[in-house]
Amino acid sequence: MNGSMHGMMNGSMMYGMGWVMMLICLLFTLLFFAVLVLTIMALLKYLRDKN
């Protein structure tokens, strides 16, 4: 009983870590896209002002 409980706890820990890593990756992706969009918008505004 004790061994199986320990295994379950370990499994849930790994599962939790997987979720955290997925969330971090998602956040970085969103951040990257936000920066990309802002950069493109700034460039378009700059080019429009130049003309």
Tokens encoding 42: 């700034």
Q: What is the total count of domains within the chain?
A: 1
Question: Would residue 10 count as lying in a domain?
Answer: no
User: Can you give the residue range of the structural domain that contains 50?
Assistant: 22-51
Domain annotation covers residue 8: no
Predicted model pTM: 0.56
- Per residue in 2-17, pLDDT (tens digit) is 566 565 566 666 666 7
Tens of pLDDT along 26-46? 999 999 999 999 999 999 999
* 47 within domain boundaries: yes
| Residue 6 included in any domain | no
Task: Indicate whether 5 belongs to any domain.
Answer: no
SS (H, E, C) 1-51: CHHHHHHHHHHHHHHHHHHHHHHHHHHHHHHHHHHHHHHHHHHHHHHHHHC
